[in-house]
Amino acid sequence: MSVSSVEANTLFAELPAVRPSSFAQWRALTGRIVRTMATKGELVVACLTPLVVTVAFFLPLRYVMKVQGIDYAQYVMPIVVLQTMAMTMMSNAQLAAFEALTGLSTRLQTMPIGSLVPLMSRICAGMVRSVVSLIATVGYGYVIGFRFTGGWLQALAFCGFALTVGVVLTLGADALGSLTKNPEALSQALTLPILIFGMMSTGFVPEASFPSWVRPFARNQPISQFAQTLSDMAAGHLSWAGTWVSLVWLGALAVLFLPLAVWASVRRS
């Protein structure tokens, strides 16, 4: 051993061994994203977007549905909640694409950081945005007449299920963002599925309002099932018979999106 090596070992002998903490890394990266959202007004946008969605969905059809004996505020709020979760999904997709485009993702892979820490930090920051949006959405819903009539337990189940749907969709969007590295194109690509599945769902209008040939799709597609489950929770009618299809859809999407998001996040480009 050379003299310089001995001196170096003696110089740093009293310093504690470095033990990277994945929790501390996650906390730092998540805090960075949340601070950016707060300082750049993204959390304000997360509060205002549900207002736009609520007004756009509620006002055009409330009188038509009232004639049919439907309390449209109660009927439409589940799909409004799901649409606001979709907005969070798009924001996370753009964040993942931006980090991949600017080389931040590659840079983090060269550092002693847990391989899943960047992905988890983006998902958790997206959860913060989802919670803010959900609180705002429920508040706007109460203004137009929406109520939780099934008690606080089912109200909590409503919020928990909505956030779970948001997390699962965000996983898929994060994977797409990491793979495409194009925030602008990704935003345009995700807008069309959101509109199609939202407008062609029974959460927006009853199944009888659709042409007969499209009713099977409108009734059985995942957004319709999620909206129906949220509606049952809000009304206090939650049951296994009315929930298992939604859980199957949610589980299938999670099985598809979670491995894809992990692979897209840890792969070396």
Per residue in 127-170, pLDDT (tens digit) is 999 999 999 999 999 999 999 998 899 999 999 999 999 999 99
Which of 52-56, 121-125, 159-163, 185-189 bottoms out in mean pLDDT, i.e. has the lowest? Answer: 185-189
Q: Average pLDDT for residues 52-62, to the nearest whole number?
A: 90
Inter-CA distances, 171 with 22, 186, 228, 264, Å:
20, 14, 23, 10
Inter-CA distances, 154 with 46, 112, 158, Å:
24, 43, 6
Q: Which pLDDT does position 118 carry in this prediction?
A: 94
The identity of residue 94, as a single letter, is Q
The token pair that represents 82 in the structure block:
């799901």
Evaluate whether residue 237 is within a structural domain.
Answer: yes
Evaluate whether residue 3 is within a structural domain.
Answer: no
Evaluate whether residue 204 is within a structural domain.
Answer: yes
Q: Which pLDDT does position 95 carry in this prediction?
A: 92
pLDDT band at 78 (very low <50, low <70, confident <90, very high): very high
- pLDDT by residue (tens digit) across 193-232? 888 898 899 998 999 889 999 999 999 999 999 999 999 9
More confident residue, 42 or 14: 42
Inter-CA distances, 123 with 117, 118, 149, Å:
10, 9, 31
State the Cα torsion 162-199-96-41 to the nearest 10°. -80
| Res 59 pLDDT > 60 | yes
Evaluate whether residue 43 is within a structural domain.
Answer: yes
Inter-CA distances, 266 with 11, 24, 29, 100, 108, Å:
36, 19, 16, 11, 10
Domain total in the chain: 1
| Res 258 pLDDT > 60 | yes
Q: Average pLDDT for residues 8-29, to the nearest whole number?
A: 73
Inter-CA distances, 59 with 34, 84, 157, 207, Å:
33, 17, 27, 20
Q: Which pLDDT does position 233 carry in this prediction?
A: 95
- Under 8 Å CB-to-CB from 180, ≥6 apart: which residues? 97, 186
| Res 191 pLDDT > 60 | yes
Q: Which pLDDT does position 187 carry in this prediction?
A: 79
Evaluate whether residue 7 is within a structural domain.
Answer: no
Question: For a pLDDT cut of 70, what percent of the chain falls above it?
Answer: 92
Q: Which pLDDT does position 15 carry in this prediction?
A: 59
- pLDDT by residue (tens digit) across 81-118? 999 999 888 999 999 999 988 888 888 888 888 889 99
| Res 269 pLDDT > 70 | no
Cα–Cα distance for residue pair 101/124, rounded to 1 Å: 21
Q: Which pLDDT does position 87 carry in this prediction?
A: 87
Which of 1-15, 181-195, 201-215 bottoms out in mean pLDDT, i.e. has the lowest? Answer: 1-15
Cα–Cα distance for residue pair 175/257, rounded to 1 Å: 8
Q: Which pLDDT does position 110 carry in this prediction?
A: 84
Contact 27, 120 (CB under 8 A): no
Specify whether the backbone of 151 is left (phi greater than 0), alpha (psi in -120 to 50) or beta: left
Domain coverage including residue 128? 21-266
Q: Which pLDDT does position 251 carry in this prediction?
A: 97
What single DSSP character describes residue 201? S
pTM of the model: 0.90
